[in-house]
Amino acid sequence: MNLRISTAPHIHHPVTTQRLMIYVLLALLPTTAVGIYAFGLPALMLLAISCVTAVLSEFLWQKIAKKRVLISDCSALVTGLILGLNLPANAPWWLAVIGSAFAVLLVKQLFGGLGDNFLNPAMAARAVLLASWPVHMTSFVLPTFFSGADAVTGATPLATKSAQLMDLFMGNIPGTIGEVSKVAILLGLLILLFTRTITWHIPFTMVASVFVFSWLFGADPVYAILSGGVLFGAVFMATDYVTNPMTASGKMIYAAGIGLIIAVIRQFGAYPEGVTYGILLMNIATPLIDRFLPQKIYGRQKEVKKA
Amino acid sequence: MLKKTFKRGIHPLHRQGSGKNATKNLPIENYVSDSVVIHMSMNIGAPAVPCVKKGDHVKIGQVIGTAGGFVSVPVHASIAGEVTAVEPIPYLGTGNVTAVTIKNDFSDEWVELHPLGSVENVDPSLVIPAIREAGITGMGGASFPTHVKLTFKEGAVCDTIIVNGAECETHLTADHRLMLENSVRIVDGLRAVMRALIVPKGIIAIEDNKPDAIAAMQKAAAGRIGVQVAVLKTKYPQGGEKQLIEAVSGRQVPSGGLPIDVGVVVLNVGTCAAIADAVIDGMPLVSRVCTVTGCVKEPKNLRIPVGTIVEDMIGACGGFSEDPGKIFFGGAMTGIAIPNIQTPTAKSTNGVVVFNEAESRSKDESPCIRCGKCVAACPIGLNPYQIKVAADASDFAAAEKLHVMDCMLCGSCAYMCPARRWLTPSFRFAKDKIVAERKAAAAKGGSDK
């Protein structure tokens, strides 16, 4: 009889990296479904292209670099899907290819692969696309909801500040594939919280921060949190494990910082939207937050209670 | 009632009742095997020195190994019969230890015992020596000699004794059953120590997943001077000494310090029962309750003579129900894997858990995704992912700066890690390295002088 010898612990929580990524995909499902329903076949094609490109890029890189092929952890699929959801529905197909490949190869793999990238891959890729092809990235179509009507292009309500709050909430606005329906995003948030994939700290703090700072800077705070990519960013992008702080208090500082940057860019900057840069800038601050936030270690606090 | 607990922590095997369902309702059964192998390193500290030889006839309770120093206790024969061997055996990766093999003649002959009388009337100065002579060590798993724990340095004052009935480890129900079936003895043991050390308060702390044990202990504690029961939230590692003290008293043991530094001593329920046996009956520690569970046909709580071989215990439980892949002493969070079923149990063996092949498979590490679950789990408040980076790079100085020495190897971080990173094993390795380096430095400093 051969008995295995190993050190404790002998058991593990059933959740693995792969299962966490599947939970994220599950949480993205309502948003993806509404996006496809709202924008039709072009949206479906774009999402498919960005997903396939992301997974294929990761696979080829790991083969060529002779690394362990880890596409089964589904992290590349998540990156691809999130990037696709960040594109306007009428974007050309090659934008999705360039974006996904850039996210996976340059932002993630060149910095060491999963866990070692310091920027959120999809967010960094979106920033590059925005800077390189601003026209493609900011010409939005109104959702057609399969009404048969021809797609009408329009500016994001962030720029026009004209949409009704109810339309903003339900998704009847021009915008990227993923950001239009707030209901679907909130459903995704519930899935993430229920599966304990994420904690409340980042999404709630970030939204609260946008609300408070927009109000302080004289904007309509409700409009501010419902328009643009605030909710999508707060639920799916700022919560990227790799690029946010490890402790609960660190996460709240990080999320509050994103909210502040968004409000500043929107009110005082030249861009109508600030979510991308807010998240990227705070991604960069994450190592600092992790490093300098004081730990409360058992038995090492200055005032150990003596009763 | 407000339930007490500590910060962070985990709920291992939450949906499977922490693996305890198979045995928690089974009364303790007595089991005596044909032979026992009693080794001499049953306590942390100096091993005992064997004082019998091959061919000797021994009675139950007879001293077969004398204490090898102050931090050491004597070892007693757990069955009556003939000594068939006194020889070194390999034991659990600690190298060879001397062991005495006794063949049972089933005469059940005891040595003459010297009872001290009721715990409320005994001369308090006799209690600690009696604990030492009875060979009592911590029975929760750490096996630290109890009389040493109860001998304080000059000026130290203990105002609370906490009896650890948390049993937060998975699979184990030995303490649970002992609290149900031997509740008065546990309180007696606590009272004996309270009187010996003039401690006003004794708190029996139990997790709320054992309501029957809470009721039994409350009944046993009723009317006893200074004894009360505290209900704890069910959370791992609630029974860790530091966590228990924080939960019950709100105090934190300073880093690198001992519970007595905050006026507390923690004793396991099994230890308390053994103390009562030593005082009231003059009986040495020769048997203990051990949960045998996992892939055995009939999981059981057995009262076994110390030194019973695992194979015999598995046989007493109807044999394996599946091919075993791994067997360990203790619960699944901190248990020590044994190399073969000829391994003998010790005074501290509170469980024998058998895993099948699938449960035993080791997991490959994958990259850290910085999810923060390890940080949210650590009951000490460390950053396990950072320590792991330092340990993987063999940068033990950096690991020490990140307070790896405060890690108590509870395994919570490794249990939660979705990337299955070997956090706890690396920390164990780093701690061993740092201790070895400190010792080497101390030895060098000594020789320089």
Angle at B340 between CA B335 and CA B343, to 5 degrees: 75
Query: How far is the alpha carbon of A278 from chain B, nearest alpha carbon, in Å?
Result: 20
Q: What is the DSSP string of B246-259?
A: HHHHS--PPTT--G
| Among candidate residues B206, B133, B212, B204, the one with its CA nearest the CA of residue B163 | B204
Rounded CA Rg of chain B: 22
Unique residue bearing structure tokens 């909430």 = A169
- Residue A6: list chain B partners with CB under 8 A: 326, 337, 360, 362, 425
Distance from the Cα of residue A200 to its chain's centroid: 15
Query: How far is the alpha carbon of B199 from chain A, nearest alpha carbon, in Å?
Result: 15
Backbone angles phi, psi at B320, to 5 degrees: -70, 145
Q: B42 versus B65: which is more confidently predicted?
A: B65
| Cβ count within 10 A of residue B411 | 30
B127/B274 same-domain check: yes
Unique residue bearing structure tokens 């009889």 = A1
Widest CA span of chain A, in angstroms?
Answer: 75
Of A10, A113, A248, the CB nearest to B326: A10
- In the DSSP assignment, the letter for residue B2 is P
Beta bridge mates, A83: none
Unique residue bearing structure tokens 């040495």 = B284
Query: How far is the alpha carbon of A197 from chain B, nearest alpha carbon, in Å?
Result: 9
| Among candidate residues B236, B420, B367, B379, the one with its CA nearest the CA of residue A15 | B420
The first and second tokens of residue A278, run together, are: 């807010």
pTM of the complete model: 0.91
* CA gap B127, B193 in Å, rounded: 7
Angle at B34 between CA B32 and CA B37, to 5 degrees: 90
For the stretch A52-76, pLDDT in tens is 999 999 999 999 999 999 999 999 9
Is cis: bond before B367, omega within 30 of 0? no
Query: How far is the alpha carbon of B15 from chain A, nearest alpha carbon, in Å?
Result: 11
Measured CA distances, A19 to A74, A197, A280, B91 (Å) = 9, 9, 26, 39
- How would you class B57 by CB atoms within 10 Å of its CB: exposed for 0-12, middle for 13-18, buried for 19 or more? middle
- B226 in a structural domain: yes
Beta bridge mates, B309: B344
Alpha helices in chain A (DSSP H): 17-39, 41-64, 75-85, 93-101, 121-132, 134-138, 157-160, 165-170, 182-194, 201-216, 221-226, 230-232, 248-268, 275-292
Q: Indicate if the pLDDT at residue B258 is higher than 60.
A: yes
Can you tell me whether residue B344 is helix, strand or coil?
strand
Instruction: Give the domain-ending residue among B232, B247, B281.
Output: B281
CATH number at residue B214: 3.40.50.11540
CB contact at 8 A, B355 and B326: yes
Range of the domain at B195: 14-25+117-281
Q: Where does the pLDDT of residue A100 fall: very low under 50, low under 70, confident under 90, or very high at 90 and above?
A: very high
Q: Count CA atoms closer than 13 A to A226's CA, side-chain side.
A: 21
Q: Where does the pLDDT of residue A296 fall: very low under 50, low under 70, confident under 90, or very high at 90 and above?
A: confident
| Among candidate residues A19, A151, A164, the one with its CA nearest the CA of residue A78 | A19
Q: Indicate if the pLDDT at residue A289 is higher than 70.
A: yes
Report the mean per-residue pLDDT for chain A: 89
- Residue A246: list chain B partners with CB under 8 A: 370, 372, 375, 383, 385
CB contact at 8 A, B35 and B101: yes
For the stretch B104-158, pLDDT in tens is 999 999 999 999 989 999 999 999 999 999 999 999 877 899 999 999 888 889 9
Can you tell me whether residue B171 is helix, strand or coil?
coil
Taking the CA atoms of B113, B117, B118 and B119 in sequence, report the sign of the dihedral they define.
negative
* A298 to B368: CB separation less than 8 angstroms, yes or no: no
The first and second tokens of residue B353, run together, are: 């858990």
- B238 in a structural domain: yes
Angle at B143 between CA B17 and CA B220, to 5 degrees: 60
Backbone angles phi, psi at B78, to 5 degrees: -100, -15
Instruction: Give the domain-ending residue among B281, B314, B345.
Output: B281
* Contact partners, residue A63, CB within 8 Å, separation at least 6: A69
Tell me the average pLDDT across A99-126. 94
Q: What is the CATH topology of the domain spanning A17-292?
A: Ammonium transporter fold (1.10.3430)
CB contact at 8 A, A59 and A69: yes
Tell me the average pLDDT across B192-215. 94
The first and second tokens of residue A270, run together, are: 């030249």
The first and second tokens of residue B60, run together, are: 């139950």
| Domain map (residue ranges) of chain A | 17-292
| Among candidate residues B56, B108, B125, the one with its CA nearest the CA of residue B279 | B125
Distance from the Cα of residue B6 to its chain's centroid: 20
- B298 in a structural domain: no
For the stretch B309-361, pLDDT in tens is 999 999 999 999 999 999 999 999 999 999 999 999 999 999 999 999 999 98
The first and second tokens of residue A253, run together, are: 């500082």
- B173 in a structural domain: yes
Q: Indicate if the pLDDT at residue B448 is higher than 90.
A: no
* CA gap A208, A257 in Å, rounded: 11
Query: How far is the alpha carbon of B151 from chain A, nearest alpha carbon, in Å?
Result: 21
* CA gap A50, A122 in Å, rounded: 11
For the stretch B64-106, pLDDT in tens is 999 988 899 999 999 999 999 999 988 876 678 899 999 999 9
CB contact at 8 A, B384 and A28: no
Measured CA distances, A48 to A56, A58, B207 (Å) = 12, 16, 51
B133/B252 same-domain check: yes
Q: Where does the pLDDT of residue B2 fall: very low under 50, low under 70, confident under 90, or very high at 90 and above?
A: low
| Among candidate residues B308, B237, B304, the one with its CA nearest the CA of residue B266 | B237
Measured CA distances, B251 to B161, B259, B263, B264 (Å) = 13, 9, 9, 9
- Residue B366: list chain A partners with CB under 8 A: 17, 70, 73
- B392 in a structural domain: yes
Q: Where does the pLDDT of residue A306 fall: very low under 50, low under 70, confident under 90, or very high at 90 and above?
A: very low
For the stretch B261-283, pLDDT in tens is 999 999 999 999 999 999 999 99
B252/B122 same-domain check: yes
Q: B446 versus A293: which is more confidently predicted?
A: A293
- Residue B237: list chain A partners with CB under 8 A: none
Of A6, A12, A17, the CB nearest to B366: A17
Instruction: Give the domain-ending residue among B218, B249, B281.
Output: B281
Beta bridge mates, B292: B300, B352
Taking the CA atoms of A203, A204, A205 and A208 in sequence, report the sign of the dihedral they define.
positive
* B419 to A16: CB separation less than 8 angstroms, yes or no: yes
What letter represents residue B36's amino acid? V
Q: What is the DSSP string of A60-86?
A: HHHHHTTPPP-GGG-HHHHHHHHHHHT
- Residue B398: list chain A partners with CB under 8 A: none
* CA gap B273, B280 in Å, rounded: 10
The first and second tokens of residue B241, run together, are: 């000494």
- B322 in a structural domain: no
* CA gap A86, A13 in Å, rounded: 33
What letter represents residue B209's amino acid? N
- Count chain A–chain B contacts defined by CB atoms under 8 A: 167
Q: Indicate if the pLDDT at residue A146 is higher than 80.
A: no
Q: A139 versus A237: which is more confidently predicted?
A: A237
Buried b (16+ CB within 10 A) or exposed e, B132-151: bbbbbbbbbbebbbbbbbbe
Q: A193 versus B92: which is more confidently predicted?
A: A193
Angle in degrees, 0-180, between the axes of helices A41-64 and A17-39, rounded to the nearest 10: 150
Question: In chain B, whose CA is at the least distance from the CA of A68?
Answer: B366
Q: Count CA atoms closer than 13 A to B42's CA, side-chain side.
A: 35
* CA gap B51, B66 in Å, rounded: 7
- In the DSSP assignment, the letter for residue A9 is P
Tell me the average pLDDT across B394-400. 93
Q: Count CA atoms closer than 13 A to B185's CA, side-chain side.
A: 22
Angle at B397 between CA B394 and CA B403, to 5 degrees: 110
B162/B19 same-domain check: yes
Backbone angles phi, psi at B339, to 5 degrees: -80, -30
CA dihedral B231, B233, B236, B242 (to 10 degrees): -50
* A307 to B251: CB separation less than 8 angstroms, yes or no: yes
B380/B254 same-domain check: no
Q: How many domains does chain B have?
A: 2
Top-ranked range on mean pLDDT: pick from A219-233, B14-28, B148-162, B298-312 = B298-312
- B36 in a structural domain: no
